[in-house]
């Protein structure tokens, strides 16, 4: 029987998470999948792709766009992670949302910083908030869980296993993916081999959850489009893909970088910083960039990720959305 995300129970979440944590780099990689499938039910998410009647891409909101607001106390105009779904829909008109795992973290009774990605009650409340707001959870951007290309095998094993709880959380929320990083140390070729191996190991487990494992160009070698495309070829797993970000290429040509990564893209991040008087992004030619996305045959969500320094996050989000809508119409 197929079990949709909206029907996932506490038992499925807890059992599945325990199975994931039991599965490691060292060979029992199928244990997590088996623990989930023993009930004869498969965890699934709502599809991220658009129907034939939708525009060629839909616009989502990445939570990082509101990182300053999320870090403020609520009595000073800040919001909580639990408020993000309603804010995305009511204030910005976005039907899809992309989380950042850092905003799931909260101090426990002893003051220790804990990840609420493993807290069923919290996730249940967050999923209810999405239902109430009428938004779709798309992915969780996962940071701070270790380097997947780490030269130390023990550290890399820990990094792989640290991502399992976010796979389970993403499935429970109805996401299609977790976004991971491919940092590490060493020579270019060695890091590519280690990153690909780690991605495969996570993906073999996440496949039981119908969750993809996607890598963003996010600094270091991952911001080299050719290197990250090579990692994708080495990983060679249908669950492993990319999240091309328009602005995180640094010394690598951004247009070439997006072209390198689009064949593996399962999500796209529309990074913006500043706008000119005509509403165009000052560092990225959005028509040229979205033409690359369209030519690759991509028909999914494009996420607003405003990262400007002027502090007015709401204005930056709305300007990015207006730019995406205008260029989408121009490209047909």
- Residue 43's pLDDT band (cuts 50, 70, 90): very low
219 vs 53: CA distance, rounded Å: 37
- Residue 4's pLDDT band (cuts 50, 70, 90): very low
pTM value?
0.88
Q: Where are the domains of the chain?
A: 47-331
pLDDT tens digits, 235-266: 999 999 999 999 999 999 999 999 999 999 99
Q: Which residue has the higher pLDDT, 5 or 14?
A: 14
Q: Once rounded to an integer, what is the mean pLDDT over residues 141-162?
A: 97
136 vs 269: CA distance, rounded Å: 16
Tokens of 247: 């602005």
Is domain 47-331 given the CATH code 3.20.20.70 in the classification?
A: no
- Residue 14's pLDDT band (cuts 50, 70, 90): low
- Residue 33's pLDDT band (cuts 50, 70, 90): very low
Phi, then psi, of 7 in degrees rounded to 5: -105, 5
Report whether pLDDT(7) > 70: no
Report whether pLDDT(159) > 80: yes
| Cβ–Cβ < 8 Å for 127, 175 | no
In the prediction, which pLDDT does 105 show? 86
Query: Which residue has 């191996």 as its token pair?
Result: 197
In the prediction, which pLDDT does 12 show? 59
In the prediction, which pLDDT does 18 show? 55
Tokens of 75: 């009595």
pLDDT tens digits, 173-225: 999 999 999 999 999 999 999 999 999 999 999 999 999 999 999 999 999 99
Phi, then psi, of 28 in degrees rounded to 5: -90, 45
pLDDT tens digits, 97-127: 999 999 998 877 787 777 887 788 999 999 9
| Cβ–Cβ < 8 Å for 245, 65 | no
Report whether pLDDT(16) > 50: yes
151 vs 134: CA distance, rounded Å: 43
Which segments of the chain does DSSP mark as H helices, in order?
10-22, 31-37, 67-71, 84-90, 120-133, 153-162, 164-173, 188-206, 225-235, 254-261, 286-295, 313-331
In the prediction, which pLDDT does 37 show? 32
Q: What does the mean pLDDT of the chain come to?
A: 88
Angle between helices 188-206 and 153-162 (to 10 degrees): 40
Burial class (CB in 10 A: 0-12, 13-18, 19+), 130: buried
């Amino acid at each position: 029987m197929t079990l949709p995300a909206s029907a996932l129970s506490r038992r499925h979440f807890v059992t599945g998470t325990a199975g994931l944590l039991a599965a490691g780099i060292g060979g029992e990689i199928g244990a997590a999948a088996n623990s989930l499938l023993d009930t004869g039910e498969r965890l699934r998410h709502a599809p991220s792709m658009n129907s034939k009647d939708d525009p060629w891409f839909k616009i989502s909101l990445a939570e990082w766009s509101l990182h300053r607001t999320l870090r403020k106390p609520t009595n000073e105009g800040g919001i909580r992670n639990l408020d993000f779904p309603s804010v995305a829909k009511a204030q910005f008109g976005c039907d899809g949302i992309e989380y950042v795992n850092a905003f799931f973290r909260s101090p426990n009774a002893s003051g220790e910083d804990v990840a609420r990605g493993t807290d069923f009650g919290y996730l249940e409340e967050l999923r209810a908030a999405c239902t109430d707001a009428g938004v779709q959870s798309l992915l969780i951007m996962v940071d701070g869980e270790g380097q997947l290309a780490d030269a130390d095998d023990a550290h890399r094993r820990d990094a792989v296993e640290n991502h399992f709880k976010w796979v389970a959380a993403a499935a429970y929320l109805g996401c299609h993916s977790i976004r991971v990083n491919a940092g590490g140390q060493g020579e270019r070729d060695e890091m590519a081999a280690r990153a690909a191996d780690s991605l495969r190991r996570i993906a073999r487990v996440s496949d039981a959850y119908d969750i993809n494992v996607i890598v963003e160009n996010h600094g270091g070698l991952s911001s080299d489009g050719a290197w990250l495309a090579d990692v994708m070829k080495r990983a060679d797993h249908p669950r492993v893909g990319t999240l091309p970000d328009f602005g995180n290429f640094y010394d690598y040509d951004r247009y070439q970088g997006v072209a390198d990564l689009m064949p593996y893209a399962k999500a796209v991040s529309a990074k913006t910083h500043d706008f000119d008087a005509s509403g165009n992004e000052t560092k990225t030619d959005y028509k040229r960039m979205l033409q690359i996305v369209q030519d690759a045959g991509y028909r999914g969500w494009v996420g607003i990720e405003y990262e400007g320094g002027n502090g007015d996050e709401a204005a930056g989000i709305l300007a990015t959305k207006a730019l995406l809508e205008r260029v989408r119409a121009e490209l047909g």
